[in-house]
């Protein structure tokens, strides 16, 4: 099940990686390092990779949250992992018949799904805001300045 979900999301990573690489290749520091004669491996590892990783981290964290929801939905519908294996979706499905006498069976599994998905989403939001904090719109890092001093770029 996880392999099937992973295979279907591979094009998303490829699309983000390609778009990020196209954007990074056009930046001045990439052109400058190539003009100074840096090797392709050096340019890739020192300049391109650090600038391409943040979007990939965001997409992968959101992909994990989506995979949790997809797996739980398919297991709830009976299309997931075979019954001896417990998954959140199958626990919710099995707890449907006991909602009158033991509502916590389905409720706790549902709360676990919500916490896991919300946790990954908040992790992405925190990472995305912290990785762009201190950057101008053209990608330059700004340093905090003291009152009365000039900003250094």
Residue entry with tokens 């840096």: 38
- For residue 137, tell me if it sits in a domain: no
Q: What is the pLDDT of residues 29-38, one digit of tens each?
A: 887 887 888 8
Task: Yes or no: say if 28 and 37 are a contact pair by the CB < 8 Å rule.
Answer: no
Q: What is the model's pTM? A: 0.69
In the chain, the number of structural domains is: 1
According to the model, what pLDDT value does residue 76 have? 87
Does residue 83 sit within a domain?
yes
In-domain check, residue 21: yes
Q: Estimate to the nearest angstrom the gap between the alpha carbon of 77 and the chain centroid.
A: 26
Does any domain span residue 41? yes
77: containing domain: 2-132
* Inside any domain, residue 146: no
- As averages over each run of 10 residues, the pLDDT of the chain (153 residues) reads 81 89 85 82 83 85 87 86 82 86 87 90 75 51 53 51
For the stretch 111-137, pLDDT in tens is 999 999 998 888 877 776 766 554 544
Is residue 120 assigned to a domain? yes
């Amino acid at each position: 099940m996880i392999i099937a979900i992973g295979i279907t999301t591979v094009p998303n990573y490829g699309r983000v990686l390609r778009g990020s690489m196209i954007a990074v290749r056009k930046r001045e520091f990439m052109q400058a390092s190539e003009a100074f004669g840096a090797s392709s491996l050096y340019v890739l590892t020192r300049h391109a990779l650090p600038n391409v990783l943040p979007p990939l981290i965001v997409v992968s964290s959101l992909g994990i949250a989506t995979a949790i929801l997809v797996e739980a939905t398919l297991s709830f519908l009976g299309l997931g992992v075979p019954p001896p294996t417990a998954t959140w979706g199958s626990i919710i499905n099995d707890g449907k018949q006991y909602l009158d006498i033991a509502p916590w069976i389905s409720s706790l599994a549902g709360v676990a799904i919500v916490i896991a998905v919300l946790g990954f989403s908040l992790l992405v939001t925190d990472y995305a805001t912290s990785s762009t904090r201190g950057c101008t719109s053209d990608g330059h890092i700004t340093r905090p300045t003291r009152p009365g001093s000039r900003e250094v770029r």
